Amino acid sequence: MLKFSSLLSSLLLLVPPAMVNAQASASPQTISIQSRALPKGFRSSSSPRRRALDPVNVPLDDFFLGTDLQWFGNITVGTPPQILSVVFDTGSVTLEVTSDLCERCPQKKFNTTASTTFVDRNVTQTISFDTGGGVDPVIDNDYTLTLRSAKDTIGLVGGFQAKDMDVFLIVNQTEKFDIDPYSGIQGLGASAQGLFEALINQGLPSLFSMYLTPKSVGNAELTLGGIDSSKFTGELIYGSLPPDPSGEPPRLWLLQSPGISVNGMTNDLLNTSRGIIFDSGTSNVVFSTNITEAIYSMISSDIKPNSAEPGTYGIACDKVNSLPATIDLTFTSQNGTAFNLTIPSSELNVGPFSGNSSECQTLINAMDGVEIVGGSLMKHYYTVYDIGKQRLGFAKAVNVSDTTPSAVTSGNGTSAGSAQGGEQGKPSGALSLRSSASTFALLMAVAFALVQM
């Protein structure tokens, strides 16, 4: 995330206390869901009114440096439209793009002077990140952006456009961001804002879906307003977002987990309830230190903290690929049955540490106060983000078959909250630079710190 981790912690405190750090009940019985034949194409929310907009597919590219780091696609900014690539990030809600106001930025820039609809709001603020866009931790504020608030027309390539949208222009950035091949971040948090809110207001169903594939598979996509059933097998299982005690819509894509197991085993610490955030802008996994070390202790005593990069852990590269390291995260479906989401052993190794090619970094980074899963899990699942029904859906992604024999399981072997009848429904290669460990995006803080100014 970023240096607004205190904000994130406060948001997590909104989860009812009874749901946090409570001892979990008995471990769920897990039975693999049976696959079923699905009609190819989109399924979206049925509605008594006629939809003005059909679902839209946005192709995604994979930023790969020894491991999958980010998935990004195109939007348009300004009039006439300028095409820019952005990470579609479920860990934030705002839009940030590199601009011509940033002389040192190497990415493709939004030309403010070429847009006839550009409005400069003349508010500037510097944001320092706690984590960046890859798998390494931030050290000494080496991920910092200076942002300037503005308004302009935002849209999809060849399609919908929305006027007077908030956009935050990157006017300066630290060197760590220079390697990123994309121009910014489009937030897709659990409370619809900006472009997606405008799409919903024009009649697009209030959900989107992600097919985030490994580089070796390709053809990743974001589907706005629908579900592409050709991208998964079996039934979708849905879990409900915890209600916000304030009565406001949830701000985070968070599910409550009653427990974690490693290679089929757990312990008292792991078998405790916690909220876990699903963040497409996070490359790997970020857990609190005690949870991180409890998981690693059940994989291998040879996995040790890396003092050169605090928050990371590693093991000799000649050992890591042989370790069994299947991590199951348990959740509760909307019909009350337990289901597991699995991070397979193949995700344990995210590549050698820079400066030490014989030591490989492992997938979980430690940062107290947050529990986040990103690409290490999400590229094995087709995920549905349903804002209207405040729920998250999962099914096994097609063409991703490495070590996920029980990719999605439920307690009674039947799908939970399936989409029907109106339901929306590394190994090798030393890395010269791998950005940092969690979402690249500006979470909710940018919206609160800048939009309201």
Question: Is 86 in a helix, a strand, or coil?
Answer: strand
Which CATH architecture describes the domain 56-201?
A: Beta Barrel (2.40)
Distance CA 377, CA 373 (A): 7
Q: Please state whether 239 falls in left (phi above 0), alpha (psi between -120 and 50) or beta.
A: beta
Spatial strand order of the sheet with 349-353 comes to 304-305, 313-316, 356-362, 349-353
Distance CA 399, CA 243 (A): 35
Nearest to 286 by CA among 72, 86, 25, 5: 5
Domain 207-435 is classified in which CATH homologous superfamily?
Answer: Acid Proteases (2.40.70.10)
Distance CA 82, CA 53 (A): 22
Q: Which amino acid is at 112?
A: T
Q: Is 228 an active-site residue? A: no
Q: What is the pLDDT of residue 69?
A: 80
Rounded to 5°, the CA angle 56-418-425 comes to 15
Q: What is the pLDDT of residue 110?
A: 97
Max CA separation in the chain (angstroms)? 61
Q: How many of the other CB atoms lie within 10 Å of CB of 428?
A: 12
Q: What is the pLDDT of residue 7?
A: 37
In eight-state DSSP terms, residue 47 is -
Active-site residue, selected from the candidate residues 166, 180, 228, 279: 279
In this structure, are residues 193 and 374 in contact, taking their beta carbons and an 8 Å threshold? Answer: no
Residue 419 token pair: 């989409």
- List alpha helices for 267-356, DSSP H: 289-297, 317-320
In this structure, are residues 391 and 404 in contact, taking their beta carbons and an 8 Å threshold? Answer: no
Q: What is the pLDDT of residue 362?
A: 95
Distance CA 333, CA 328 (A): 15
Q: How many of the other CB atoms lie within 10 Å of CB of 14?
A: 17
Q: Measuring CA to CA, how many Å separate 218 from each of 62, 70, 150, 212, 236?
A: 8, 13, 35, 8, 22
Q: What is the pLDDT of residue 133?
A: 56
Q: Would you state the torsion angle of the CA atoms of residues 421, 197, 1, 245, taken in this order, to the nearest 10 degrees?
A: -70
Residue 283 token pair: 């490359």
Active-site residue, selected from the candidate residues 62, 68, 89, 180: 89
Q: Would you state the torsion angle of the CA atoms of residues 95, 99, 103, 108, taken in this order, to the nearest 10 degrees?
A: 100
In this structure, are residues 272 and 357 in contact, taking their beta carbons and an 8 Å threshold? Answer: no
CATH 2.40.70.10 placement within the chain:
56-201, 207-435
Residues of the chain predicted below pLDDT 50: 1-50, 402-453
Question: With 0-12 CB in 10 A as exposed, 13-18 as middle and 19+ as buried, what is 167?
Answer: buried
Distance CA 125, CA 3 (A): 13
Q: Is 100 an active-site residue? A: no
Q: What is the pLDDT of residue 165?
A: 96
Give, rounded to a whole angstrom, the gap between the first and last alpha carbons of the chain: 22
Q: Would you state the torsion angle of the CA atoms of residues 201, 205, 210, 211, taken in this order, to the nearest 10 degrees?
A: -130
In this structure, are residues 144 and 129 in contact, taking their beta carbons and an 8 Å threshold? Answer: yes
Torsion angles phi and psi, residue 147, rounded to 5: -120, 145
Query: For 106-122, how does the pLDDT look when each residue is reduced to its tens digit (9 = 90+)?
Result: 999 999 999 999 999 99
In this structure, are residues 286 and 131 in contact, taking their beta carbons and an 8 Å threshold? Answer: yes
In this structure, are residues 393 and 238 in contact, taking their beta carbons and an 8 Å threshold? Answer: yes
Q: Which amino acid is at 25?
A: S
Q: Measuring CA to CA, how many Å separate 323 from each of 13, 348, 360?
A: 36, 8, 13
